[in-house]
Amino acid sequence: MTSQQDEKNISISSGINVIKFMWPYVWRRQTCYRKFQFSLSMLLIVATIFLNVSVPFLLKQVVQVLTDKPDLSPILSLTPIGVVLCYALFWGLARLIDRLRAAASFPVAIIAAQNFCLDLLAHLHHLSTRFHKDRKTGSILNIIDRSKMAFLDLIGHSTLLLVPVVIEILIAVAILTYLYDYSFGLILLNMLILYVILSYYVSGWTAKCRKIQNKMDSAANAYIVDSLLNAETVKYFDTAKYEENIAKDKLLQKEIADQRSLVADAQASLLQHTIVGLTLFIMTFYAGYKVVYGSMHVEDFVLVNGYVLMFMFPLQMLGYHIRETRDNFTVVENAIELFSEAVEIQDRPGAKILQISSGEIDFKDIYFGYTEDRLILNHVSFIACPGKTTAIVGASGSGKSTLSRLLFRLYELKEGDILIDGQSIKSVTKDSLRNSIGIVPQDTILFNDTLRNNIVYGKPDCSEKALLDVIKKSQLVDFVSKLPDGLQTKVGERGLKLSGGEKQRIAIARMLLKMPSILVFDEATSALDIQTEREIQANLTKISKGITTIIIAHRLSTIKHADNIIVLKQGEVVEMGNHQELIGMRGYYSELWNKQVMEP
C-alpha cells in the first residue's frame, strides 16, 4: 500500500514538475503578440463555456414557447420566433468561437513546442562527448520527435479541451440544483467525480503500459537506425539476414507492448463509457419519472437531457484525452530527463576569452582515463612550442587522439592542466577555445548536405575567393570539376558517397577556411594516396609556417619534418626530440621507424 501511495505521490509530483517546466514556453518566452493570442484564446474559452451552458436552457425556452404558444417567453422578453433564433444563434456562435479559439491558440502551441525542441537540441549539443558515445542516436531522436507532439497536445488538448469540459459540467450541476432539486446536480457531480477518479487511476495503469511501449519503440527505432547507418558493413559481412532477425525480435517486443497498451486503453474506455451510459440512463429515467408524476414539465425534461446529451460526446473523449494527457506527460518527462543530464564541460564563473599571442601549448602532468578502470594518459607532460610543429606518435591505443580531445575540452581533465600562452583551458570560455583551434579529425564525418556547405561549415560567411583558395590547397579542384553538380553535389549520409581520401580533403579544406591560430592534424592524410599526400603535405607545411601545429600520426614518414616529436607508449611519454635525434637514440621511436621502413 505504501508503495502504491509513493508511486501516486511521485506521479503527481512529476506532473507538477512537467507543468512548471512547460509554463515559460507557453507564456514567459512568447512575444507580446503571442501572449495576446493566448489571452484571447482564454477569453474565447470563457465565451464558449457561457454559450454551451446557455444552449440547453434556450432549448427549454424553445419547447416552452412552441408548446404553450404564449405571446412572450416566460423568461426572456422575446417572441417565440425570437427565442428560436436566439437558440440557433447561441448554438452557432458556440461552434464558431470554439474554432476561433483553436486558431488563436494553435500558433502559440506550435512556437512553444518548437522552442522546447530547440532548447533540447542545444542542451544535447552542450553535453559531453561521453554522453553521446554512451547513448544511441536513434533513441534520442525518438524522444525528441515524440516530445514535440506531446508538448503540442498538452497545450492544445489538456488546457483548451479538458478544463472547459469540467467547468461546463460544474456549471450545469449548479444550474440543475438551482432550478430543480439537488438530486440532478448530485447525480451529475458524482458522475464527474467518479469519472475523473477512475480515469486518473486507470490512466496511471495505461501510462505504465505506454511507458513500456515507448521504451520498446525507442529500442526498435534505435536498432534500425544503427543498422541503416552501417549498411555498408552489413553488405561486407553479408549479415542482412542477421540484421533482419534482430530487428524482427525488437519489433516483436514492440508489438507485444503495443498490444498490452491497446488492451489497457480498451479496458479503460469500457469503464469510462459505462459510467457515462449509467449517468445518461439515471438522469433520463429520473427526469421522465418527474414529468409523468407532474413535478416537472416536458421543457424541464428537455433541459435536463440537453445538458446530459451535451456532455456525452465530450465525456467520451474526455477519457481518451485524460489517458493521452498522462501518456504525453510521460513522454515530456522523458525529454525533461535529458535536460536533467548534467553538462559536464561548462565555462567557469568569470571565464575569459582566450587570448592567443604566440600559441605555446603546455601539457602539464596530464592524467586521464575514459572510465575509472581504463587509464589512457599517465602523467603526460610536454610543450608544443609556439610557431613550431609538434608531432605525437605511438602505437594504437597509446593516447594520441585523446590528447587532441582534451585540448578541445571534449572531456574534462582528471588531473593536470593544459595551458595556452599561460592560460588554463579550464579558465577560458569553450567558444573562444574551440574557435582558436582547427582540427582535421581521424574520422571525418560529413553532414548530409552539399559539398559546398560541408566545406564552409566552420565559416559560412566566407568569400568565394577564400573558398576556391582552400579547395586548391586541399587538392579538391579535379575532384569538384568532375562532379556534374560541382560544389552543389550532395555527399550523402555522413559523406558515404565519398571515398575516405575525398572526405579527408574536405575536412582539410574546412579547417583551412576557418583560419585558426592553432592547427591539429589527427591522422589527417592517412586515407590519401602517396602522391596526393605529398602535395597536401607540402601545402600544409607552407600554411602552418609560423603557426603552432600538432600532428598526430601513425605513419612516421609524414612527421619527419616536425620540430619536435613526442613518442607515447602505453599512455606515457618515453622519448621526445626531432627525427634525427630520436633515430640516434635507438629507442622505441627508432624501433617503430625501422618496422615501417621494412614494411612492403
**pLDDT tens column, 347-360:** 889 899 999 988 89
* CA 212 – CA 232 distance, rounded (Å): 32
Is the per-residue pLDDT at 319 higher than 70?
A: no
Question: Are the C-beta atoms of residues 206 and 327 closer than 8 Å to each other?
Answer: yes
Supply the mean pLDDT for the chain: 81
Look-up of cell digits 602523467: 379
CATH class for the domain made up of 361-598: alpha beta
- Are 91 and 61 contacting, i.e. CB atoms less than 8 angstroms apart? no
How high is the pLDDT of residue 152?
80
- Whether residue 187 contacts residue 286, with contact meaning beta carbons closer than 8 Å, is answered with yes
Residue of higher predicted confidence among 520 and 179: 520
**Res 529: pLDDT:** 66
The reply to whether domains 113-339 and 361-598 share a CATH topology is: no
pLDDT band at 136; cut points 50, 70, 90: low
Model confidence at 126, pLDDT cuts 50, 70, 90, reads confident
Neighbours of 485 (CB within 10 A): 11
Whether the per-residue pLDDT at 442 is higher than 70: the answer is yes
Q: What is the mean pLDDT of residues 395-422?
A: 89
Q: Which CATH superfamily is domain 113-339 in?
A: ABC transporter type 1, transmembrane domain (1.20.1560.10)
Cell numbers for 287? 427526469
Domain ranges (residues) in the chain: 113-339, 361-598
- Residues 6 or more apart whose CB falls under 8 angstroms from that of 301 comprise 287, 288, 290, 291
pLDDT, one tens digit per residue, over 539-563 is: 677 777 888 999 988 888 888 888 9
Least confident range of 326-335, 412-421, 576-585: 326-335
Q: Is 80 exceeded by the pLDDT of residue 599?
A: no
For residues 310-347, one letter each, b for 16 or more C-beta atoms within 10 angstroms of the residue's C-beta and e for the rest, the string is bbeebbeebbebbbbbbbbbbbbbbbbebeeeeeebeb
Q: What is the pTM of this model?
A: 0.68
3-class secondary structure, 428: strand
